[in-house]
Amino acid sequence: MEFCFHDGAGCKDQASSAACGGVARNDHGLFIGAFTWNVGSCTSLQAKLCGVLSSLNLALHYGLSKVVLEMDSLTACELVRSGVVDSHPCAALIRGIHSR
């Protein structure tokens, strides 16, 4: 069985208060769970990566093994796929995502 997370995140402007959220559905479209997180002061990219991390944490919580994560940020997707150097502002988030 496959599970799909639809992730959303955003902030009003650069380095302002941000939030993220996600919804988990199974391969039949049925609701599994959801989350919201008031991330606080960060960039939109950081909020999106927090959403990815939270989605993976929710998948672990429900014992889900096959997960499809959908997001609207090519930059976030590329960072998750390729990784970053330790000096990158999002390095800790990327490491957290990779450890899941």
Question: Mean of the pLDDT values across residues 76-98?
Answer: 94
What pTM, to 2 d.p., does this model score? 0.83
Give the domain ranges of the chain. 3-98
Q: Which pLDDT does position 97 carry in this prediction?
A: 94
HSE at residue 45, side-chain half, CA atoms within 13 A, is: 14
Dihedral pair phi/psi, residue 11, rounded to 5°: -145, 160
34-44 pLDDT, tens digit per residue, is 888 898 888 88
- Please tell me the predicted confidence (pLDDT) of residue 1: 46
Q: What is the pLDDT of residue 89?
A: 94
Superfamily of structural domain 3-98: Ribonuclease H-like superfamily/Ribonuclease H (3.30.420.10)
Report which listed range, 7-11, 21-25, 49-53, is most confident: 49-53
